[in-house]
Amino acid sequence: MNPATGATWGICAVSTTAVIARPFRWPEAIWAVAGALLLLLLGLMPLAAAGAAVAKGLDVYLFLVGMMLLSEVARAEGLFDWVAATAAIHARGSTARLFALVYATGIVTTPFLSNDATAVVLTPAVYAAARKAKAGTLPLLFACALIANAASFVLPISNPANLVLYGGHMPPLRQWLASFALPSVASIVVTFLALRWIERDRLAGTCQSEVERAPLTTGGKAALAGIVTTAILLLVVSALDRELGLPTAFAGLSTTLAVCLIARSPPLPLLKGISWSVLPLVAGLFVLVEALQLTGVIAWIAQGIRDALVDPAHGAAAAGTILAFASNLVNNLPAGLVASTAVTQAQPPQLVVDGLLIGVDLGPNLSITGSLATILWLQAIRREGEDVGFWRFLRVGAVTMPLALTAALTARLLIG
């Protein structure tokens, strides 16, 4: 390994470690961007390559902007409070039932709006539900975080990482369901059972069911209509094999403007409430991964995939498992981009590609920085005054993720 390659690997490793550890409690974006800038300042990466890496994330940025707009306008118009009160009432005093309701809502939200939407849109409502019902917040918040990834390969639009891994060209829906319906069920069920067992003591008590539910305002109804419309729009756009970013951003902006007109309120306060730092975080991660690609890591990974083709079933399981854990080191979006490029070079059978997709989607349930959805989840709960550290999440993820990953990969291999 030459000195430049070693330095590049070192900077990328330190940057990703800092994103995970958050020294001085600084935001994750600072460390990702600092690492990218250091690569440029030391001449380890051409400026043009860094610009191209940032540009690769354009569709993801637009997608996130649209989802964050939808979330903020829903919060401002009381939609989350209304959903929270409804959940608390239907729990009928059972914390375990409230937990199951939250998980079931995530099963519906994630496939049709993506795992990022579950993190951005559902998490504030879940936190509000826990507060209204006077139930413990962490088990419910963990349910929200884990289902966001566990259900993220039900449909092609369920996770932006799916689009990245397949290079924006998704298989037909019938083929997708044939490959991933059974693994998705296995992932969702095993994750639920494992998390329910881990949090069994906290879910054994009762919660308050007699909570006040204010009528949903006209603006709240408009925000809900915007979210439902966005889900339908994403399904249509995905069926047409188009990128999702621009339609999502348009839907989020349209909903925001419509609600502001109905409520006769300026949009600026809404824009100030959005966690914009997630955009430079994603851009920085794309730059770091591009730097690794320049060191020849893609060719090495592609050769590893070719070597695994002697036994495609074993290769699919191994590739999915390795990528699942690797996604926690650099985030699953950049990891999916690396895997996509390696797949293009290696041309493995579909079974191996499907194994990689399960790994890149489900693996991030191990740690707080494994997926963008989990980072968005963290930002959402921090905004409410809650926080979950790396080790606290890992204690849950170390049990739930390997079990669900094994179940999902096994289910995919059984299909053949």
Q: Spell out the SS3 assignment of 55-98.
A: HHCHHHHHHHHHHHHHHHHHHHCCHHHHHHHHHHHHHCCEHHHH
Percent of the chain predicted with pLDDT > 70: 97
pLDDT at 167: 62
pLDDT at 409: 96
Strand boundaries in 124-282, DSSP class E? none
Q: In the beta sheet, which residues pair with residue 206?
A: 94
pLDDT at 272: 82
pLDDT at 145: 93
pLDDT at 1: 58
User: pLDDT: is 369 or 62 the higher one?
Assistant: 62
User: pLDDT: is 14 or 324 the higher one?
Assistant: 324
What pLDDT band is residue 170 in, cutting at 50, 70 and 90? low
How many angstroms separate the CA atoms of 121 and 74, rounded? 8
Query: How much is the mean pLDDT over the chain?
Result: 85
| Average pLDDT for 393-416 | 94
The C-alpha R_g of the chain, in whole angstroms, comes to 21
Residues 6+ apart with CB under 8 A from 317: 355, 409, 413
Residue 38 CB-density burial (10 A; 0-12 exposed, 13-18 middle, 19+ buried): middle
Q: Spell out the domain ranges in the chain.
A: 58-415
- Structure-block tokens of residue 402: 């390997």
